[in-house]
Amino acid sequence: MSASDVKDLAPRKRARRATQRLTMADVAKAAGVSASTVSLYFRRPEAVSPHLAERVKTVIDEMGYVPNLMAGSLAAAKSRTVAVILPSIVNSFYAETYNTLQRLFSASNYQTLLGVSEFSPDSEEKLIRAFLAWSPAAMVVTGLQHTPQAKAMLASSGIPIIEMWDMPTPENEAVDTSVGFSHFEVGRQQASHLYDQGCRKIAYIGAAVHLDMRVRSRADGYEDEVERRGLHQPVALTAPDAASTPVGCWLFDEVLTAHPDIDGIVCSNDTLALGVLFEAKRRNIRVPEDLTVIGFGDLTFSNSCLPPLTTVRPPQQEIGRLAATHILARLAGASLQPSHYNLDCQVIVRDSTQGPRHPA
């Protein structure tokens, strides 16, 4: 767009009363295109020719125009938004998944609405009801544990629904499509790795099990592997508190008081594992010579703490990528059946478990 094409934009902008909202028709008139072209630019910018797209963009920037997306929503019965509900934004692995979702949706001109349930089913139900009232194009929720009312609202929403970070079971089926992994298998992997390092008696510690069923599922996987190996009875200790380093210290202290012969600790996440490492250092317990420790999450500190922490890395980015790709394909008109993407987690072996445990 040439300078002469836009030279009169500033006077028109100054002349317009501040209380008068710019419309799509104003942008179209200033750019010398139809209102439908401007509308298409906002909905599917790749469908507008580069020449016209540049003209429209220049006018939008000059006029400071912000589209009224809800007006289009009323006509189309849906908006250019995707609602995402996370249980927490403290855990960085949820944040990594959300960042991936946001990036991919934004690239296709969709915006995300973020809600945080704090692991409360009732809070999640309220968020689902509030978000559906805004007619989102799709919704992403975490896990498959919902109130009956929430599940009913999701099932009758008529929009693509993704349940992520978990896998459906016969007792707990997915509403639509799921993208996740088996937390039961994670707990089994954690315990199996410690046994393979030579441990003879391992314990599980977890936090907020009554709130996060995924933590409970990992504990079940640990217990299954303990029973399969047959070396001892399961030793599992959990706290109602949210996971934190001090809670990890306390739980480890409680385990050692009841079971001083423990030589391995499976932690429900890396934050608890860090507390175990701190408490072991305070007690002059050598890791991994006297005690092996494994976490979950591969959080940012896991590779830099002393010793570096062995952990299970969940597929955070892959969950976000598959969820966004599936939703965008359906919103573009693809006829896709509900799918269940069962992903694998990776055991990241570091110094907290490496080395011989017991002499042959």
Under the banding of pLDDT at 50, 70 and 90, the label for residue 78 is low
Under the banding of pLDDT at 50, 70 and 90, the label for residue 9 is very low
Under the banding of pLDDT at 50, 70 and 90, the label for residue 71 is low
CA atoms within 13 A on the CB side of 10: 3
Lowest mean pLDDT: which of 4-8, 170-174, 260-264? Answer: 4-8
Asked, colleague to colleague, whether 3-67 and 76-181+316-345 share their fold, the answer is: no
CATH architecture of the domain 3-67 equals Orthogonal Bundle (1.10)
Tell how far CA 287 is from the center of its chain.
31
State the pLDDT at residue 240: 87
* Signed CA dihedral, 90, 94, 96, 99: sign only: negative
State the pLDDT at residue 14: 37
Give the model confidence (pLDDT) of 232-291 as tens digits. Answer: 999 999 998 888 999 999 999 999 999 999 999 999 999 999 999 999 999 999 999 999
**Tokens representing residue 107 in the block:** 């690239």
Does the pLDDT at position 69 exceed 80? Answer: no
Q: How far is CA 50 from CA 26, 34, 65, 234, 328, in A?
A: 21, 15, 20, 64, 23
State the pLDDT at residue 270: 97
- Give the DSSP H/E element, type plus range, for residue 101: helix 92-107
Lowest mean pLDDT: which of 76-85, 252-261, 282-291, 308-317? Answer: 76-85
Does the pLDDT at position 22 exceed 80? Answer: no
**Tokens representing residue 108 in the block:** 């296709």
* Signed CA dihedral, 40, 45, 49, 51: sign only: positive
Q: Which class does domain 76-181+316-345 fall in? A: alpha beta
Does the pLDDT at position 5 exceed 50? Answer: no
State the pLDDT at residue 29: 92
Under the banding of pLDDT at 50, 70 and 90, the label for residue 355 is low
Contact 190, 223 (CB under 8 A): no
Check residues 188 and 338 and name the one with the higher pLDDT.
188
Under the banding of pLDDT at 50, 70 and 90, the label for residue 40 is confident
Q: Rounded mean pLDDT of 69-73?
A: 54
Contact 135, 79 (CB under 8 A): yes
State the pLDDT at residue 197: 95
Rounded distance between C-alpha atoms, residue 246 and residue 282, angstroms: 13
Model pTM? 0.78
Contact 121, 147 (CB under 8 A): yes
Give the model confidence (pLDDT) of 184-199 as tens digits. Answer: 999 999 999 999 999 9
Give me the amino acid identity at 15.
Answer: A
State the pLDDT at residue 359: 41
Q: Rounded mean pLDDT of 89-109?
A: 90
| Topology given in CATH for the domain delimited by 183-313 | Rossmann fold (3.40.50)
State the pLDDT at residue 224: 98
Q: What residue spans define the domains of the chain?
A: 3-67, 76-181+316-345, 183-313
